[in-house]
Structure 1
């Protein structure tokens, strides 16, 4: 025991996930996050005055402070500070980790943290021209590396990984079909739903579907060759959504009479080869396991974000049975 305060999650809510241009097409990121913040406070029995800070991750807006807008829109006191962080795809989890660290350091007793993205309403970004006669150049994402030859588009990196590992389009498509099947089974179970905050009439994830293998194989290839290339069916959808958790010190929670929440044992940030971002997940998992001194068999589940089918497939293969992977 180090004597540092224990951070616990006392409430967690999210919106459904809607594809870009879908049910949330008219909502900004802060408009998605505000009702989730309200729901988290209600679930935990907290008032806005109990909150020390709000931290939200956002990768698409490229400026401003959506977390502050969401905090005000949710009716929290104007004196509650809010911060938006951008570590691209890791932003939401990094926001939660920052909340945990604040609590553990004794710098805060209650922090709301999570992520909010509106692909539908995100800014159209352009590079300002150097000379007056030049035209601004639009771009979808900032650079991930200072070296152009090591800064591939994420889809290109995924296709390159598939080629290196010999993961065929058929195998990727089969993985995507099974992923949708599992998600649909959960949607149709009695366990799905309580965490969803209905927004714009949507209370169910909209992208999950009954995907057939032949349909997945007909999907257009985004990048790569015909044998191992990445298609739209094997890629996570561009979407709008928000999710927020309430992170509190265990002492503060007990003082408010809250039931025990989920204790956060630890968390890590990891970095690796910018040319192959899909493999960095493995570094984080291994480092976390080492820090906790708990072998993988001690975990009931390991949850992976399937940005691309090939990303999940490579991670499962590399981690192997010892990490509970491959099931």
Structure 2
């Protein structure tokens, strides 16, 4: 089997729904990061074998194809859109890695894009002649209504099950915002509409958290507006390359040393990243002590906290520049954003180490990616 590398990684800032990106369609969001990633490594658009993007809210069609054409890629480059909800952006990268490892491609643009602001209205037609069209907020994620919880109540149930108190969730959220505000500048973000940094991070305080409304759960273990990632717009892409391309880069590429996708309990969707990471590390015959950095999705504070605790991750190594609680959650792009942030963090390092990105999705899906930094990024 061939080897696969990440040789470039770019993203937009994450902007809350209805904000500065509200007028852009999904493909318009993705086009800039695609062009920037190719420009970063001096590769021509004609050398791209395929584009694979995750998306959850577009409403049909193939936004990856629109994004590829909008970015100036040749019409001969095929494109495919994946929808595994929150996992979609990371799953697109895993799919690209599998194709490169199989020797079926040398260079794939992969990632995710989401516009909450431009998501279409959802209405189902009537089933009978006398029925009425029925609006809906989301599709089903399992065939069993009693095992298909909405994500906020599911997070609150998880907090009660694991005994994770509201105050601890709020402390986690406060820390996420603080890390985001103090993070050093990075060249990972492609400017759009004058936005050059994530727009939501703020000086969140425990006092403010206590005043925010409860969304679900009992008083002690409640999920609140502070501990749930907000709806947002963004896009993120990486270049997945074969060894034959990576060896010609002017800086050392990061190898994709492992990937994993799992299914879990649909009724407890937030836990699915745990078996995904365990499977990933088991395949590499390593444990969490070998990790140098980790990007864990913060769709909910309780979800990230449960995953960190169950896996035994060192909290000091997780989401060092803040997480989705401080940025927002552009569903189909969120997993790709984790990969972009991880790539840049590892590239800034001067030591050998492994980096992990992991995310869970509605329906009980989990995905994980393991990158290796050789420590010398100029050799």
TM-score (norm 2): 0.81
Instruction: Report the equivalent of 2:266.
Output: 274
* 4+ runs deviating over 4 angstroms: none
Is residue 286 from structure 1 mapped to residue 283 from structure 2 by the alignment?
no
Matched, 1:148 2:137: no
Partners of 1:65 and 1:83 within 8 A in 2 = yes
- The 2-side partners of 1:38 and 1:17 are apart by 18
What residue in structure 2 maps to residue 13 of structure 1? 10
Which residue does the alignment assign to 1:170?
167
Give distance in 2, aligned partners of 1:164 and 1:318. 13
Which residue is 2:119 aligned to?
A: 122
Q: Is 1:80 the equivalent of 2:77?
A: yes
Match of 2:295 among 303, 308, 312: 303
Per-residue Cα deviation, 1:49-85 (whole angstroms, up to 9, x for no partner): 1000000000111311000000000111001000000
CA distance in 2, matches of 1:120, 1:72: 22
Matched, 1:105 2:102: yes
CA distance in 2, matches of 1:326, 1:145: 36
Once the 2 structures are TM-superposed, how far is the Cα of residue 132 of structure 1 from its aligned partner? 3.2
**How much does 1:114 deviate?**
0.1
CA offsets 1:174-226 (integer angstroms, 9 cap, x no match): 1111111111111xx2xx23010000110010011100111111111112222
2:90 aligns with one of 93, 97, 103: 93
2:255 to 251, 263, 267: 263
Give 1:257 deviation, angstroms: 5.0
Unaligned runs of 5+ in 2: 318-379
Give the conservation status (yes or no) of the 8 Å contact 1:116–1:241. Answer: yes
CA distance in 1, matches of 2:21, 2:39: 23
8 Å Cα contact 1:15/1:197 also seen in 2:
yes
Counterpart Cα distance in 1 of 2:176 and 2:251: 34
Report the equivalent of 2:314.
324
Q: Distance in 1 between matches of 2:53 and 2:227?
A: 28
Q: 1:276 to 1:147 in 2, by over 3 A?
A: same
The whole-number CA distance in structure 2 between the counterparts of 1:17 and 1:298 is 30
| Equivalent residue number for residue 363 of structure 2 | none
Q: Is the 8 A contact 1:302 1:324 kept in 2?
A: no
Mapped pair 1:33 → 2:25: no
Give a deviation string over 1:211-243, Cα, whole Å, max 9, x none: 011111111111222221211110111000000
Supply the distance in 2 between the matched residues of 1:51 and 1:305 (Cα, whole angstroms): 29
Indicate conservation of the 8 Å contact 2:10/2:37, yes or no: yes
Contact kept, 8 Å, 1:316 with 1:326, in 2: the verdict is no
**Which residues of 2 match residues 222-233 of structure 1 at below 5 A?**
222-233=215-226
Contact 2:163–2:221 (CA<8 Å) still a contact in 1? yes
Say whether the 8 Å CA contact 1:267–1:288 is kept in structure 2.
yes
Which of 143, 149, 160 pairs up with 2:157? 160
Q: What is the root-mean-square deviation in Å for CA atoms of aligned residues?
A: 1.3
Q: Is the 8 A contact 1:193 1:204 kept in 2?
A: no
Larger displacement relative to structure 2 (143-152 or 166-175) = 166-175
Q: Closer, same or farther in 2 for the Cα pair 1:274/1:326, shift >3 Å?
A: farther
Q: In structure 1, the residue corresponding to 2:292 is in which secondary structure?
A: coil
Q: Distance in 2 between matches of 1:228 and 1:215?
A: 17
The one-character-per-residue Cα deviations of 1:297-317 (angstroms, maximum 9, x if unpaired) are 111122211110111111122
Aligned-partner Cα distance in 2 for 1:195–1:233? 26
Residue segments in structure 1 that go unaligned for 5+ positions in a row = none
